[in-house]
Chain A
Amino acid sequence: MERMKPSPRVYWIIFLLLAATFVLSITVGAVNIPLERLAAILTGRAGDAENATFAAILLKIRLPHAVLILLTGAALSGSGAAYQGLFRNPLADPYLIGVASGAALGAVFAMSIQWPDSLLGYYAIPIAAFLGSALTVFTVYELARVGKVVPATTMILAGVAVSSFASALTSFMMLRSTAELHRALSWLMGGGTLGGWPPVLASLPYIALGLGVLLTSGHVLNVLQFGDEQAHSLGLNVERVKLWLILAASLATAAAVSFSGVIGFLGLIVPHVVRILWGADYRHTLPLSVLGGASVLLAADTLARVVLAPQVLPVGIITTLAGAPFFLWLLRSTRNQLFG
């Protein structure tokens, strides 16, 4: 009876895609790990010395990196879908509305005052990034709001302005602490240069919490698509619900940005494709965006590692090179609805 409801098969396909890109991500790189060795290592038959080397690469470098990328893709894409639903605007994206830049500012600020050294270690960075992103999203929302709606024009303008301001502050801070400059710069372009398991462990709780709230909010986001007044008359406590969702999306974004840097356009493209293929029911848009985003970012990251190998490109370059033209196309094809 409900049209365009994605069948369970869709979830299976997207799960398989995620598994395939994950395997690709851990086997391909400066050193390729053949699949039979992967199988041997995973089943604990890593007997000979060569297999031990592969096992070390896999467990200490590839696996944590792939898990971090997976979490990052899931967080950015899931929160992109949520922001689009919250702002009722298909162009809302953690990058475009400045949340990601705000998170980066918070993270760099925390690093520049050596907060992680004194308290909480790595776990402090997502908290600082979260404060930065929450500050940014409320600033952009208040600047862009006309009455109770957020028009695309003002949202993008406010997003660009706030985002540039945050980026300038970030650059200023990085220039002040030159020792960290190179590392921070490549990190900000989406390099994910902090290696090993600590970043994964430090971002996992925040991303799980943020995405956990978002993934259970599909029904609520559906109700919000009818506008605040109708959502209110359908029995939703609109202001409180929106606050929770914004905080959850910003937390997920902040934790992702904290260790993977600013990765543009992923949160725009993936939910958009999901909506084109399977309709606008947020109970499906959210989980499919989360799975799809993880998969797409794993693929983009693999590409970033092989295209100029042995040099590793920041994955943000790949997503932006693919995403910016897509965004322009989207802007052009929907401009009548958005600005007409």
Chain B
Amino acid sequence: MLEIQSLSVAYRERLALREITLSVRAGEVLALIGPNGAGKSTLIRVASGMIPLKAGQIRLNQREISGLTAAERARMLAVVPQTHNLPPTFSVYQTVLLGRTPYLGWLGQAGSSDHALVAEALEQAGISELSARLIGELSGGEQQKVLLARALAQSTPILLLDEPTNHLDLRHQTNFLSLVRKLAVEKGLAVLVALHDLNLASLFADRVALLSNGRLQALGSPEQVFSPEILSPVYGVGLRVISHPEYGTPLVLPDGPAADFAPQGRGYMLSAEPMVRLHV
């Protein structure tokens, strides 16, 4: 379980995060939401020990993160980063095997139990058949699953994900997040995931934490947090919240004067001479 208490982080002189307190329980998915620059990525990075904190505490299964060595920390907490800048000539298997690094010596000599865990991680991420392929040959969605498999091979109780669906299309977004959710439940992982898309957060997270200007504005179930009164001021745009027709989870739609949206625009365009002719 991941506990963050009264956490503050400063970038140069500016406070990037102020007085954040939240905890992620085993088997739970907590989504970090908020506008650009709200501090989502900063919180992920500080929780993984990448950047120092100015004040407060971070505990991984009751142990203070600053008291852990790099390898100890990596045995408790794994990070799924975004997929840009991966070495294209590494094979999928080789990449996932690097997830065992915190358990290996300097030489990185992997034993049969390590290989068994890598095979299991590939299986759980649904990419066993890709294991001999090179990273550079894969699609964005497949690369994201490779990084997930590598994090699973780390065998940690805590998993952090930094906007993992950013470069994926709708099918891969839902596919990826439902996989994460399933793993959290089945393996009892504490999952903290930064998400841009509010509706994905609503569908796949047990709770959401809304950040704005480095402060925690709201923390609770999507039903509790997703209301126009809470979200509109933070995003600075008119919003409407409706219920998902099937699951009843809240869905967030932009709201405002009708003239700003497409139906009127389309009507206008149909009656006028098209500005660009398309040759079909």
Using a CB–CB distance below 8 Å, which chain A residues touch chain B?
Answer: 1-4, 216-220, 222-223, 225-227, 229-230, 232-237, 275, 279-281, 283
Shortest distance from the beta carbon of B115 to any chain A beta carbon, whole Å: 8
Q: Which residues of A contact B49 (CB under 8 A)?
A: 232
26 A-B Cβ contacts within 8 A?
A2-B94, A3-B91, A216-B106, A216-B107, A218-B107, A219-B101, A219-B104, A219-B108, A220-B108, A222-B98, A223-B101, A225-B90, A229-B79, A230-B79, A230-B81, A232-B50, A232-B70, A233-B50, A233-B81, A234-B99, A234-B101, A235-B74, A235-B75, A235-B101, A275-B89, A280-B89
B160 nearest in chain A by CB position: A233
Q: Is the CB of A234 within 8 A of B48?
A: no
In the complex, per-residue mask of B29-67: 1 if CB is within 8 Å of any chain A CB, else 0: 000000000000000010011100000000000000000
Known: A1-B131, A232-B50. 20 other contacts (CB 8 A): A1-B132, A2-B91, A3-B132, A219-B104, A223-B108, A225-B87, A226-B86, A226-B95, A230-B81, A233-B50, A233-B74, A233-B78, A233-B81, A235-B70, A235-B71, A235-B75, A235-B101, A236-B70, A280-B87, A281-B94
Whether a CB of chain A sits under 8 angstroms from the CB of B264 is no
Q: Which residues of B contact A222 (CB under 8 A)?
A: 90, 94, 98, 108
* Number of interface residues, chain B, beta carbon within 8 A: 36
A149 nearest in chain B by CB position: B85
How far does the alpha carbon of A225 sit from the alpha carbon of B70 in the complex, in Å?
18
Q: Is the CB of A234 within 8 A of B108?
A: no
A228 nearest in chain B by CB position: B50
B162 nearest in chain A by CB position: A229
How far does the alpha carbon of A234 sit from the alpha carbon of B99 in the complex, in Å?
6
How far does the alpha carbon of A243 sit from the alpha carbon of B90 in the complex, in Å?
24
Q: Which residues of A contact B95 (CB under 8 A)?
A: 226
How far does the alpha carbon of A4 sit from the alpha carbon of B75 in the complex, in Å?
29
Q: A236-B70, A279-B89 are known contacts. Are A219 and B107 too (CB-CB below 8 A)?
A: yes
Q: Is the CB of B106 within 8 A of A219?
A: yes
Shortest distance from the beta carbon of B212 to any chain A beta carbon, whole Å: 25
Q: Is the CB of B81 within 8 A of A229?
A: yes
Q: Is the CB of B106 within 8 A of A2?
A: no
